[in-house]
Structure 1
Amino acid sequence: MNLRVLVLINSAAVAISLSAVNYYFQHKWYDMIITFLVTLISSYIVFYYLIEKYIYSRIKLIYKLIHNLKLGRDLRDALGEHVTANPIKDVENEVKEWARIKKTEIDDLRKQEKFRRDFLSNISHEFKTPLFAIQGYIEALQDDGFDDREMAEQFLKKASKNVDRLSYLIKDLDEISKLESGEIPINYSKFKINDLIKEVFESLEFKARDHNIKLIFKQKYDDGIYVNADREKIRQVLVNLIDNSFKYGKEGGSTSVSLFTLHDQVLVEVTDDGLGIEEKNLPRLFERFFRTDTSRSRQIGGSGLGLAIVKHIVEAHQQNINVRSTEGVGSTFGFTLQKVKQALPFPNIPVLKS
């Protein structure tokens, strides 16, 4: 509804009211019609002037400011002056959209602030634990004066382990920072995912034996399945997921890797029969430093960034990763990769001799 129609409706309402009052007292149709026409015209002129001058022009100015701020000067100049037939309706829509966007931005800022506080708290705790341990061992060695050589060697070994833990933490933090900023490029290449899984199994064979966990990759996956991805980064994903299954697996258990060919993707699943994860913890599993069992996580070590790195690598490939788990039964981590279609070989056509 534009301005003229709005003013005409209001003027007509006033004119009808006054003409009805005139007819009530005068009982003359002629006077009622004259009153109606005079009131309609005068009301229309007065209302139009007042609304245009004090309300409508200011609404148009507000709309123009909002519109220009949203588009930006360069884009506005390229498109030309935006002309609208109904700025009141447009202002209403613009303000609603602006309010929705601002609410979303505020919610995002609150989430980011909470994430920042949690991250700083976690990283402070992760650094303090090995640092205090190292400090304690060094002070004990200084007080002892290396008189007990056997104890000194034990303390030095423990301090060395905590130094290694700090090194792993710093290395993982640096890697995840570069992954987030895109500093580490994805070097795509075509390779057999089957062969890579077998290589990872071979590299983790002794570690699996130490944890008394059996690695399973079924023979049905011997046929080559080609994918297009960064081979070394996918190796890191597999190592992190399988190593994670060792940490939270059960004694005498197993870790299996399965492949499923989809339309244009390959689904890789790493399954263990370990402790499992509570359903409430699943949405936060890929967060940095998130641990489902803090006491056990301290015992088994690790930086707490392994799954976060896995998620960043998979998403850098424009693919997805998910997890499903049942407490006391085990967990399955699955991620997709781009499948490479193989050209079909030409059939051998017998040559007919004349």
Structure 2
Amino acid sequence: MCRSSACAENWAMPATLSKPFAALATASRSKFMWPKRMLWQIFPSTLLVMLLALAAVTVMAGTLFERFYRQDIYGSLQQRAWVLENRMTLATDEKTVDPLCKQLSIKSGSRITVIHSSGRVLGDSLEDPTKMANHADRPEVRLALAGKVGKAEHFSQTLREEMLYVAVPLQSDGKVVGVVRVAQSLGDLHHTLRTIYLRLFALALITAGLSALVSLLLARHFTLPLEVMREGLKRFAAGQLDHKIPLPETVELADVTRGMNEMAGQLRERIRTVEQQRNEQQAVLTSMREGVLALDAEDRILFLNESARRQLHIDLALGAGRTLQEAVRNTEVQRLATATLQEHRDGEGEIVIRDGEQDRCLQIHTTALKSAENKVIGALLVLNDITRLRQLETVRRDFVANVSHELKTPITSVKGYVETLLDGGMHEPADLQRFLEIIGRQANRLSAIIDDLLLLSRLEENSKRVAFEKENRSIKETLETAAELCEMLARNKSIALEIQCDEALNAFFNPTLLEQAVTNLVNNAIRYSKPSTSVQIGAEATAEGVVIRVRDQGAGISREHLPRLFERFYRVDKARSREMGGTGLGLSIVKHIMQVHRGRVEVESELGKGSVFELHLPKS
């Protein structure tokens, strides 16, 4: 066998292995150590201290009581012994000693024994002295024969039980001639002590129960404020930062609680500030007409407002958290975002997205998102819907081209006929008259175009600055006036003008402007209607105000022309419109007149079935 030290060296675990296992053991112990409530940590220790103190007091009380009771018994026996010693001194005959012992024992209730100096028993209250052994060797007897008070506890061979003895010397002429011994059974003492101990034990149990209750109340008194603080912290964690934890009576806990309440108040104010700032930012971003879309460094959507979602047609289910490629199916948007994320530079571009039946043009600006450390953490895309701007640019170009064309046509015609006259046409009376009539018609057309342009300009300027004066006038009177102005044109095509309007129908409007709008509509209806048909002019009251309708039985208008029908110089059939003498501004004037009245104009038309134009006037 190897020595113990050698075996330890051979079987000891290496330090490199023991440390991980020790850590694992510690982790295992900590893993299975469940947290205990403070009440059950304070209560058992407090109760144990009280029980130990109670046990010590009970044992000490029992010991002191037993000692006191024994001393009391010894004192009582000693007094009895001295009394008996005086009585026994008077007795000179040894034969009278035993009867006297038995007689006095009845009165005293104790065992009385008188012993000669030689140890011979002279009298005993319970036994025949002649049958009793010599008592000279008894310890209490030896002390008494020595002139002292003897006390002893030992087993009585005569009575076969434990006894408590007190012996006093019996003297005659100054000499010890014998011993008077008084005894009492220890059974009485043990019975009394047993009763006392039982009472002490019962009292100890009651005291232990009270101690347990006091310990529990004491522990509860200490832990209750902590539980209140715990519940308060739970409410803080749940977001109820307006809650106030009641202050406990303990100064230290009150300071901690006060600090918690102050911390919750400060946290509440900070959260409110953050929420207010977030709500303000959210409100600003939500109300923006521009679309805003934020990406992180991994091309995932961090935020997008409603405008961006609507402009890019992003599904709600593919919002924040998804990649840009998943949410937006447009390569140009992805290219601009990728360039900003990779190259850390701003970008700009335009895309066209199909929105229902029309195309929408979006202008995109991209910029890098940077942190406080100037590190690129993502990209920001701002989208502007410039569809209206592009449409206005198209309208402007068309307007310039149309105005140039409409003005150039009569000017070219006038110039051509003037040059013809200058080249000798004035010498031909027939040609001179015809050329001058043509020049007059072209001049009138040029004047009409200029007048309509000036009217449009005046309508636009006044609708933005000062409203036209409005009067409460009869609608039927205005319709009849417009019909009279177009009666000659209608008679030339055998077209009947039918007016359907209640005499009492009134509205607030500018008579001159509304008459101009109705005249333009009736004039167009007559021009584009077939001969020998009718044009219906009617008006009726609605919940919103008054509606004026002009219905014709012409060729109708194709659906693709309706959105641009009220643009300046827009013509469905340009050649036919010029032949009929129109300037191309009539319907645009109607639209602007209705805008001045805060109303609107609508049209319904179908090829081969005619058209219906409606003027909607508000109530006031």
Assess same fold via TM > 0.5.
Answer: yes
Residue identity in the other structure for 2:446 = L
For residue 615 of structure 2, give the secondary structure of its aligned residue in structure 1. strand
In structure 2, the CA distance between the partners of 1:201 and 1:142, relative to structure 1 (3 Å rule), is: same
Give the CA deviation at 1:202: 2.3
In structure 2, the CA distance between the partners of 1:299 and 1:317, relative to structure 1 (3 Å rule), is: same
The CA deviation string for residues 152-182 of structure 1, in whole angstroms up to 9 with x for no partner, is 1101110111111111111111111121122
Is this contact kept in 2: 1:178–1:184, CA < 8 A? no
Matched residue count: 266
Residue identity in the other structure for 1:278 = S
Is this contact kept in 1: 2:505–2:540, CA < 8 A? no
Is this contact kept in 1: 2:539–2:549, CA < 8 A? yes
Is this contact kept in 1: 2:548–2:616, CA < 8 A? yes
**Greater displacement, 101-110 / 123-132:** 101-110
Distance, in Å, in 1 between the alignment partners of 2:566 and 2:497 is 24
Q: Does 2:391 align with 1:108?
A: no
The CA deviation string for residues 139-162 of structure 1, in whole angstroms up to 9 with x for no partner, is 111112511011011011101111
For residue 614 of structure 2, give the secondary structure of its aligned residue in structure 1. strand
The CA deviation string for residues 92-137 of structure 1, in whole angstroms up to 9 with x for no partner, is 9844459779644533322222221111111111111111111111
Q: Does 2:479 align with 1:197?
A: yes
The CA deviation string for residues 235-270 of structure 1, in whole angstroms up to 9 with x for no partner, is 001110000111111111111112222124111100
2:530 alignment partner in structure 1 = 250
1:209 alignment partner in structure 2 = 491
Is this contact kept in 1: 2:557–2:606, CA < 8 A? yes
In structure 2, the CA distance between the partners of 1:142 and 1:329, relative to structure 1 (3 Å rule), is: same
Superposed, which structure 2 residues align to 1:140-155 within 5 Å? Answer: 140-155=420-435
For residue 146 of structure 1, give the secondary structure of its aligned residue in structure 2. helix
Distance, in Å, in 1 between the alignment partners of 2:494 and 2:446 is 27
Q: Does 2:512 align with 1:226?
A: no
Residue identity in the other structure for 2:602 = N
Q: Does 2:518 align with 1:238?
A: yes
In structure 2, the CA distance between the partners of 1:151 and 1:105, relative to structure 1 (3 Å rule), is: same
Residue identity in the other structure for 1:277 = I
Is this contact kept in 2: 1:226–1:339, CA < 8 A? no
Q: Tell me which of 424, 440, 449 is aligned to 1:160.
A: 440
For residue 331 of structure 1, give the secondary structure of its aligned residue in structure 2. strand
Q: Does 2:456 align with 1:176?
A: yes
Distance, in Å, in 2 between the alignment partners of 1:29 and 1:189 is 96
Task: Select the structure that is richer in helix.
Answer: 1
Q: Tell me which of 563, 568, 593 is aligned to 1:288.
A: 568
2:590 alignment partner in structure 1 = 310
The CA deviation string for residues 161-206 of structure 1, in whole angstroms up to 9 with x for no partner, is 1111111111111111121122674111001101221222223222
Distance, in Å, in 2 between the alignment partners of 1:168 and 1:31 is 102
**Greater displacement, 187-196 / 112-121:** 112-121
Give the CA deviation at 1:87: 7.7
For residue 442 of structure 2, give the secondary structure of its aligned residue in structure 1. helix
2:122 alignment partner in structure 1 = none
For residue 427 of structure 2, give the secondary structure of its aligned residue in structure 1. coil
In structure 2, the CA distance between the partners of 1:254 and 1:87, relative to structure 1 (3 Å rule), is: same
Residue identity in the other structure for 1:168 = A
**How high is the TM-score relative to the length of structure 2?**
0.40
For residue 603 of structure 2, give the secondary structure of its aligned residue in structure 1. strand
Q: Tell me which of 399, 405, 408 is aligned to 1:119.
A: 399
1:343 alignment partner in structure 2 = none
Distance, in Å, in 1 between the alignment partners of 2:26 and 2:390 is 67
Distance, in Å, in 2 between the alignment partners of 1:203 and 1:168 is 16
Distance, in Å, in 1 between the alignment partners of 2:471 and 2:27 is 89
Give the CA deviation at 1:85: 5.5
1:134 alignment partner in structure 2 = 414
Task: Select the structure that is richer in strand.
Answer: 2
The CA deviation string for residues 207-251 of structure 1, in whole angstroms up to 9 with x for no partner, is 210122110114xx3431011111111100111000011111111
Percent identity, aligned pairs only, is 33
- Residue ranges of structure 2 left out of the alignment (5+ in a row): 1-18, 29-272, 286-291, 294-304, 312-362, 364-381
In structure 2, the CA distance between the partners of 1:149 and 1:332, relative to structure 1 (3 Å rule), is: same
In structure 2, the CA distance between the partners of 1:32 and 1:154, relative to structure 1 (3 Å rule), is: farther
Is this contact kept in 1: 2:547–2:614, CA < 8 A? yes
Distance, in Å, in 2 between the alignment partners of 1:85 and 1:261 is 51
- Residue ranges of structure 1 left out of the alignment (5+ in a row): 1-24, 34-82, 341-354
Is this contact kept in 2: 1:229–1:338, CA < 8 A? no
Distance, in Å, in 2 between the alignment partners of 1:225 and 1:248 is 29
Give the CA deviation at 1:298: 1.3
Q: Tell me which of 535, 549, 557 is aligned to 1:269.
A: 549
Distance, in Å, in 2 between the alignment partners of 1:144 and 1:305 is 37
**How high is the TM-score relative to the length of structure 1?**
0.68
Give the CA deviation at 1:291: 0.4
In structure 2, the CA distance between the partners of 1:285 and 1:150, relative to structure 1 (3 Å rule), is: same
For residue 530 of structure 2, give the secondary structure of its aligned residue in structure 1. coil
